[in-house]
Amino acid sequence: MESKQPVKYDLIALIAQNEILAQVAKNEFPHIVIDARPQEISGRSKALSIKLKIRCKIRIEIVDGSFIETVRSYKGDYSIHWDCTMINPGEIYRHDREAHPNLRHLATFPKHFHNGTEKNIVESYINDDPKQALREFLIFVQQKITLRIMQP
């Protein structure tokens, strides 16, 4: 039988790291981040499985009315999602590691990037380190917001 102790330590580390990531967003990107806060820990089980998937979230509110959500699991799965639909319907940007079989052709599989829409999927070269990945993503968001402001 598998020991549950390592999962507990991973979960504690994940919660602590989410606090750090929220601070990175607020402290390093105050010109675009209104607020960043860890969300509830959620779990779910598949109907025929007793394994529980634990996920931790951070919600980051952006100055233009959009928001970013990061979702991470203790197993290393993640997504960083920027929802711009309130500004431009259908516009989203998301890096994630969901292993969609139809994306096996991507060199970075299972990592991929939804670039502007759910269906426009390209390779993801975002850093594997969560803190650095969040920084890279927030720089991307900052650049996109700057371009929107500069457009006539």
- Cα–Cα distance between 26 and 20 in angstroms, integer? 10
In the prediction, which pLDDT does 77 show? 77
Element (H, E) at 136: helix 130-150
Give the DSSP letter of residue 90.
T
Which one is predicted more confidently, 8 or 80?
A: 80
Residue-range domain boundaries for the chain: 5-150
Which one is predicted more confidently, 37 or 1?
A: 37
Quick: pLDDT tens for 56-105: 889 999 999 999 999 887 677 789 999 999 888 999 999 999 888 999 99
- Cα–Cα distance between 52 and 54 in angstroms, integer? 6
